[in-house]
Structure 1
């Protein structure tokens, strides 16, 4: 009986994966440099990779995130730097046939006067709509997998008068997926979106000899948000070290911090 149930769940999961195959073709971050009173046009390219028709709804939300892992999706105007009210979609609901591609268009109408220079943003949620068809003949547990996308629409105003302000919130060494990893929490306390990279230089505490330099991936960081920038240091032997942590954005703005670091056997 147990084998039959597992087989039924496997088949349902496989069917659901084939059924729901919505993907975004042109990226999850759309950025614009804007001016007062101007109109900017954009589009979202969507494909249904599955074999069955799929309805998709689209709507705007405000969005923030923090290094503790929280992601906040809220109503437009919750965030004081939202641009959600400037954006108008040409549709809020589409239906794609199997293997069909389409484009949803939007317009950003910038107000005649923006007071504060810097970045304004919201996210466009693209969410498959599951058609519920009740049937008395269904037996067992019906499991479906539906993936929603959050596409950031970022508008930068008078960037020459704005800047990011990156701060280190915490530094921890933890084991992640079997590898020793430095987890650096970085906050952007400024008013401009940026794409920083974190790096760490590790030195022998007794001799001062440089052990190596290790870097994170580059990630986007919105104003008043924070993220964990993980760095793999699994090649560093267990010991206590001195280290210099640095973060640099695409404009070569650099911030540094000296720390003591302990790499354990565990």
Structure 2
């Protein structure tokens, strides 16, 4: 399994795909769990110490949330401060431990899911070294931390989303993708434009979105110059995972000046 390192600085997640400069390395970057309400799930995270000396690490949990415009950026929040936290359900068997130089330590965790849980719940397990140092420029305490994000979804979760609010904005079609379910909705988008004869005039990719429950995100499709004047159909497709797709069809016209007009919409 590819190893990844997380550092936390001033409350932000920074994900690195390379560990060339990392000294604390985890064997997994994230944990995904599907559990029944009332179930207890156990697992482990292994920490590797690349320092030339033994290090003392503290293990603890906090919350995280995806931030607008919901393209994968996360911020860390205090434990139990967000409505979809699973941090308080996590028990770590080794909250403080020493990892020998160039050695490894496996830390066990258990997650006790409440009986009334439904949907998605999220947290992060941090492994923190030392008390940190003060930067000369700003006097901000910086601590080295490696973190593993935890995504827990119950078996009775509801994944539901919609595409709506389609509108013309100059040479583009804009709309919103909204999460109507009770867990994070991850969707990768694409589009293509067909003319009245069914010939594809243009195609492209849309942003990948990470929408918390109740959130919405704006997307935009530029109608390029290679799309001729006339009537066309815009096909918007978001891959929602698990073999499911979210599709919107938009009939529109483009006049000789390039002006766009929406004619009809279909789900």
Asked whether the equivalents of residues 169 and 187 of structure 1 are also in contact (C-alpha less than 8 Å), the reply is no
More helix by share: 1
- Look up the match of 1:6: none
The aligned length equals: 225
Displacement of 1:58:
2.4
Q: Could you give the per-residue CA deviations for residues 178-207 of structure 1, whole angstroms, max 9, x where no partner exists?
A: xxxx99975534213444221122457x99
Displacement of 1:130:
5.3
Match of 1:162, SS?
A: coil
Q: Where does 1:163-174 land on structure 2 (aligned, <5 Å)?
A: 163-167=159-163
- Look up the match of 1:95: 98
> Is 1:254 equivalent to 2:246 in the alignment?
yes
- Look up the match of 2:80: 77
Displacement of 1:65:
1.4
Q: Could you give the per-residue CA deviations for residues 137-178 of structure 1, whole angstroms, max 9, x where no partner exists?
A: xxxxxxx9865344222222233x62232557999x9xxxxx
> Is 1:210 equivalent to 2:213 in the alignment?
no
Structure 2: segments with no counterpart, 5+ residues: 1-18, 135-140, 259-267
Match of 1:248, SS?
A: strand
* 1: CA distance, partners of 2:153 / 2:60: 21
Using structure 1 for the length normalisation, give the TM-score. Answer: 0.62
**Structure 2 counterpart of 1:109, from 109, 112, 117:** 112
Displacement of 1:104:
1.2
Displacement of 1:108:
0.9
Using structure 2 for the length normalisation, give the TM-score. Answer: 0.61
* 1: CA distance, partners of 2:97 / 2:57: 5
Displacement of 1:105:
1.0
- In structure 2, the CA distance between the partners of 1:18 and 1:31, relative to structure 1 (3 Å rule), is closer
- Look up the match of 1:22: 24
More strand by share: 2
* 2: CA distance, partners of 1:185 / 1:52: 52
* 2: CA distance, partners of 1:85 / 1:91: 16
Structure 1: segments with no counterpart, 5+ residues: 1-16, 134-143, 174-181
